[in-house]
Amino acid sequence: MTQGYKPVRDSGTFSYAAHAAVVAVDPEVGEVEILDYVIVEDGGVLVNPMVVDGQIYGGLAQGIGTALYEEMPFDNSGQPLATTLADYLLPGATEVPAARLDHMETPSPYTQFGVKGIGEGGAIAPPAAIANAVNDALRPLGVELMQSPITPHRVVAAVLAARTSGRSAA
């Protein structure tokens, strides 16, 4: 027998979160290091907190990949340039920080037990949090990066462009 549950009032039962990153950026080589990462998530009543934490930490790793590593470039004729995992970079254990995670609990009034969905929350916010932290770190140099992933090549190119145009304070 298969059973399911759907709330009477289908209002959407989305989680809410805030992510904050502290990074160090080496403008000479373009390296970005995540020094600290904090997540505050409101998933309503957590039925299984360990599973929720796993989803959030896994989403963080995915979001770091989006922010700093994963890219699918193509040449002028449309041929992919990243055809193996040697070309398509992913964050590993050394690139994913031991993030600090805190839970708020605002029960959903529309679901049994007050639960909310938690699925994609961990993966959506990291690219924005990391990009904002990188841009904050590079602001004194007159650099703002608006394309992901924020690769070392893009960081160095933006720093050189800022120096050449005279925007850089350094």
Active site residues: 120
Q: Which amino acid is at 29?
A: V
Q: How many residues does the chain have?
A: 170
What are the CA-CA distances from residue 43 to residues 8, 113, 140 (Å)?
19, 12, 37
Q: Which amino acid is at 96?
A: V
Q: What are the DSSP E strand ranges found in 26-165?
A: 32-42, 100-104
Taking the C-alpha atoms of residue 135 and residue 140, their distance in angstroms, rounded to an integer, is 9
Taking the C-alpha atoms of residue 15 and residue 29, their distance in angstroms, rounded to an integer, is 38
Quote the tokens at residue 133.
């932290």
